[in-house]
Structure 1
Amino acid sequence: MRFHTRKWVKPEDLNPNGTLFGGKLLAWIDEELALYSIIQLENQRIVTKHMSEINFRSSARQGDIIEIGIDVVKFGTTSITLKSEVRNMMTRETIITINETVMVNLDENGKPKAHGKTKIEFVKDRL
């Protein structure tokens, strides 16, 4: 799994228990998966269609640094399915794993559009 992004847990990211708010973490994950999909599918019109079961295994506290990892599970005709994991860099614990998130490639009218991709492409290989 490639870990692409790190986030620093700040006071505004906490729930009343003093730990990382789950909704904030899910927003970070969704944004990272969208950015990854936009780059892979070369289209800014990407939407989240489905996320598999979400199970929080641990958390993070103020000052902790978390990192978000992504792997491609498969390429569909109009979609890309991704796996993600978030881990706490300070405690070395996995916070959450999401086995499948389906991101759909859209056309200018908001309808699913074939993307023609079959494998991961790295930006350096496109230049």
Structure 2
Amino acid sequence: MEDKRCVDSLVIKNSHVLPSDTNNHGTLFGGRLMAYMDDVAAIAATRHARRNVVTASTDSVDFLHPIYQGHAICLEAFVTYTRTTSMEVFVKAITEDLLTGERHICATAFLTMVAVDENSKPVSVPCVKPETEEEIWLHEGAPRRAQQRKERRDESKEFSKRFGTEFPWHRKG
């Protein structure tokens, strides 16, 4: 399998923030932004692997700047790191006041996507080849982020085991 450049998976998506996209503060619903991020990450990962993909995890999403109704939201995503079947995808969201041209980074996140075959079984993906200073910096930090994800996933499994499917105060016995 031939290595692929980060830029080969680059996705750029722009959307106008409409009233139906906003909350009572006139800003984009956080969940809508997260759905946009998942969408562009999936496209970038699919473009890299040329396979169907599923979302394995989303790292924390910090909302750094509000996204107002009437503004535009631009999302950029590309694969930064690969393992055997998984891909780390960096997503950056930028808001723009279309009347003034003022732009702000409103969120960044890393999503982990896994390539799957027609039976939803994980399949190998090509390695990624970073080229720019920023891509190399993201690539070099990926093993540390992967370890943090593993620790977080282990903790989530412990929560699941402890709490099960019922609320603690509803348990019988």
TM class by shorter-chain length? 0.7 to 0.9
1:105-116 equivalence runs, <5 A: 105-115=115-125
Distance 1:82 1:111, change over 3 A: same
- Any gaps of 5 or more consecutive residues in structure 1? 121-127
Which of the two has higher C-alpha Rg? 2
The 3-state SS of whatever aligns with 1:31 is: helix
The 3-state SS of whatever aligns with 2:40 is: helix
Which structure carries more helix by proportion? Answer: 2
> TM-score w.r.t. structure 2 length?
0.63
- Any gaps of 5 or more consecutive residues in structure 2? 1-6, 130-173
- Give the counterpart of 1:4 among 7, 12, 15: 12
Cα deviation, residue 6, structure 1: 0.7
> TM-score w.r.t. structure 1 length?
0.84
The 3-state SS of whatever aligns with 1:55 is: coil
**Share of identical aligned residues, percent?**
28
1:1-127 equivalence runs, <5 A: 4-43=12-51, 45-90=52-97, 91-98=102-109, 100-115=110-125, 117-119=126-128
Equivalent pairs, count: 117
Cα deviation, residue 8, structure 1: 0.6
RMSD: 1.7
Q: Which amino acid aligns with 1:119?
A: V
Contact 1:3 1:67 in 2 (8 A): no
Q: Which amino acid aligns with 2:41?
A: L
The 3-state SS of whatever aligns with 2:47 is: helix
Q: Which runs of 4+ in 1 moved over 6 A?
A: none
Which structure carries more strand by proportion? Answer: 1
2 CA distance for matches of 1:88 and 1:7? 10
